[in-house]
Amino acid sequence: MEKRYQQQKKRFPKLRFILLIILLLFIATGAYAVHQYREGLKLAGNGEKKEMDFISDEETGDIINYLIIGVDSRGEEKSRSDTMMILSWNKKTNELKLVSFMRDIYAEIPGYDHWKLNTAYYLGGVQLLKETLNQMFDIPIHHYAVLDFKSFESLIDILAPDGVEIEVEKDMSAYIGVTLTKGVHRLNGKELLGYARFRHDAQGDFGRVERQQKVIEALKDELMQPKNLKNMPKLIGAAQGYILTDMTTGEELKTVLSVAKGGVPDIEKMTIPVEGTYWFNSYQHAGSVIEIDLETNRQKLHEFLGMEE
The span from the CA of 174 to the CA of 75, in Å, is 23
Q: What is residue 307's predicted lDDT score, i.e. its pLDDT?
A: 85
Is residue 293 over pLDDT 60?
A: yes
Tens digits of per-residue pLDDT, 181-193?
A: 999 999 999 999 9
Q: Is residue 247 predicted with pLDDT exceeding 70?
A: yes
- Span 114-156, pLDDT tens digits: 999 999 999 999 999 999 999 999 999 999 999 888 888 988 9
Q: Global pTM?
A: 0.83
- Asked whether the beta carbons of 220 and 116 are under 8 A apart, the reply is no
Question: What's residue 231's pLDDT?
Answer: 77
DSSP structure class, residue 44 = T
| pLDDT tens per residue, range 206-216 | 999 999 999 99
Q: Is 287 a residue whose pLDDT tops 90?
A: yes
State which amino acid sits at residue 187. L
pLDDT at 253: 62
Boundaries of every domain in the chain: 63-305
Does the domain made of 63-305 have the CATH classification 3.40.50.800? no
- CA quadruple 68, 274, 294, 123: dihedral sign: positive
pLDDT for position 32: 43
List the 267-272 sheet strands across, edge first: 243-245, 143-148, 63-71, 81-90, 95-101, 267-272
Q: CB under 8 Å to 242, separation ≥6 — which residues?
A: 43, 44, 147, 151, 154, 155
| DSSP label at residue 34 | H
Q: Is the pLDDT of residue 76 over 90?
A: no
Burial level of 245, CB count in 10 A (0-12/13-18/19+)?
buried
Q: What is the pLDDT of residue 290?
A: 97
Query: What does the pLDDT read at residue 158?
Result: 87
Cα(209)–Cα(214) distance, integer angstroms: 9
Amino acid 31: pLDDT: 46
Lowest average pLDDT, out of 72-76, 113-117, 141-145, 241-245, goes to 72-76
| Nearest Cα residue to 267 out of 142, 141, 138, 99 | 99
What's the pLDDT score for residue 194?
Answer: 93
Report, as an integer, the average pLDDT of 225-244: 78
Q: How far apart are CA 127 and CA 130, in angstroms?
A: 5
Q: What is the DSSP string of 124-171?
A: HHHHHHHHHHHHHH-----EEEEEEHHHHHHHHHHH-TT-EEEEE-S-
pLDDT in tens, 16-42: 556 655 555 544 444 444 545 566 556
